[in-house]
Amino acid sequence: MKRIIVIIGVILLIPLFLIYSLPFWLSVFELDVQIKNYIVHRIGSGSDDIISIEDIEIGIGKIELTDIKFVSYSSNANFLLKGIEFRYSLIDLLLNISEPQKSINNIFLGSNDVKLAFVVME
């Protein structure tokens, strides 16, 4: 009986460890840079605007973009955001993998000191 409990515990801990260590593995294989480039490309596609993101942090249930700079030559608009944090439901993301935007629950604008929160309603 103890052996079964240990086996079940190990089976449950391995996926949890892999999910928890996801940011580390993304940085080891440099996939975080590819994700960052994908996000920048998707945001700025089809325009002459310049968008740069200093850092991207992917964790369980959140994606945080820091020091976002936006320069628009067509409308003479420039701005800098200290951070944008997207919180999402991991279960909703897995169920709607083709539409990841539907898994977002909250969006926070600002830095760690001051944040402006938005709740996403369907």
Residue with tokens 């103890």: 2
Residue with tokens 């439901």: 89
Looking at the structure of the chain, the number of domains it has is 1
Domain membership of residue 75 as a residue range: 2-119
The average pLDDT across 12-35 equals: 82
Task: Calculate the alpha carbon distances from 113 to 67, 78, 110 in Å.
Answer: 14, 23, 8
The reported pLDDT for the residue numbered 115 is 66
**Percent residues over pLDDT 90 in the chain:** 4
Q: Would you place residue 44 in the very low, low, confident or very high pLDDT band (cuts 50, 70, 90)?
A: low
Instruction: State the Cα–Cα distance between residues 77 and 66, nearest whole angstrom.
Output: 19
